[in-house]
Amino acid sequence: MRSAGRREPASPRRVSAASPEGTRRLAARLGRLARPGDVIALVGELGAGKTTFVTGLAEGLGVPRETRVQSPTFTLVNVHQGRLPLYHIDLYRIAEATELDELGLHEYLGGAGLCAVEWFDRFPEVAPAGCLEVGFELDGERGRRLTITPHGAVAAQRAREWLDERRRPRQPAEAHRQTKGTTGARRAR
């Protein structure tokens, strides 16, 4: 997906998920890192895993588990409340770019929440310069290959945080706590 008049995107990175559960977990990590105004363009064929990915984003944002995340194919936009609003937008049934104004797409993009836009590749000219593109390909019966392409510096930073987190070994919670030592502590006399 390349927007007219925009810089070349950063080099794509590829990751694999062996199952829908793996796709969801991968997305949940990204959801935990999301900031207000982040836009994720979801690109792939029907059944490639886009909505499963959004389910993981919702989990990472703290959307209540009882909230059912489903593709907004007919409603076009579903809003889920977590630590940030998740705007799940589906452009599959949009025929012309002029319909995007009626949908109010620009009000969601760059707003107070995270926008996850399925089929954004159909309208690359309206994709914001700083979006993170996630492409989906089938890999066997249950697996998926994801191609992550950041467009802009903020998206590139978010992709690094997200994908590099996968490579770091997990450390026990104790290692993350700061210890004060004796500084500021009153010593017994």
Residue 6 lies in a domain: no
Closest CA to 28 of 124, 131, 126, 114: 114
The number of CA neighbours under 13 Å toward the Cβ of 81 is 0
In this structure, the strands spanning 114-118 and 132-139 are unpaired
Q: Residue 182 above 60 pLDDT?
A: no
Taking each helix axis from N to C end, the angle separating 20-33 and 153-165, rounded to the nearest 10 degrees, works out to: 130
Q: How many domains does the chain have?
A: 1
102 CB contacts (<8 Å, ≥6 apart)? none
Token pair for 168: 């770091």
Residue 96 lies in a domain: yes
> What's residue 189's pLDDT?
38
Residue 178 lies in a domain: no
What would the mean pLDDT of 46-66 be, rounded to a whole number?
93
Q: Which residue has the higher pLDDT, 90 or 75?
A: 90
Residue 107 lies in a domain: yes
What would the mean pLDDT of 57-71 be, rounded to a whole number?
90
Q: Which domain holds residue 65?
A: 18-166
**Is 114 exposed, middle or buried, given 0-12, 13-18 or 19+ CB atoms closer than 10 A?**
buried
% residues pLDDT > 90 (the chain): 57
Residue 172 lies in a domain: no
Rounded Cα–Cα distance for residues 34 and 32 (Å): 6
CATH number at residue 71: 3.40.50.300
135 CB contacts (<8 Å, ≥6 apart)? 12, 43, 44, 146, 147, 148, 149
H-helix segments, 34-136:
50-61, 98-103, 105-108
91 CB contacts (<8 Å, ≥6 apart)? 76, 100, 117, 118, 119, 120, 122, 123
Strands (E), the chain: 13-17, 39-43, 77-81, 85-90, 114-118, 132-139, 143-150
> What's residue 65's pLDDT?
86
- Asked whether the beta carbons of 146 and 134 are under 8 A apart, the reply is yes
Lowest mean pLDDT among 37-41, 74-78, 151-155: 74-78
Residue 1 lies in a domain: no
Residue 177 lies in a domain: no
Residue 72 lies in a domain: yes
H-helix segments, 9-91:
20-33, 50-61
Q: What is the pTM of this model?
A: 0.80
In this structure, the strands spanning 13-17 and 143-150 are antiparallel
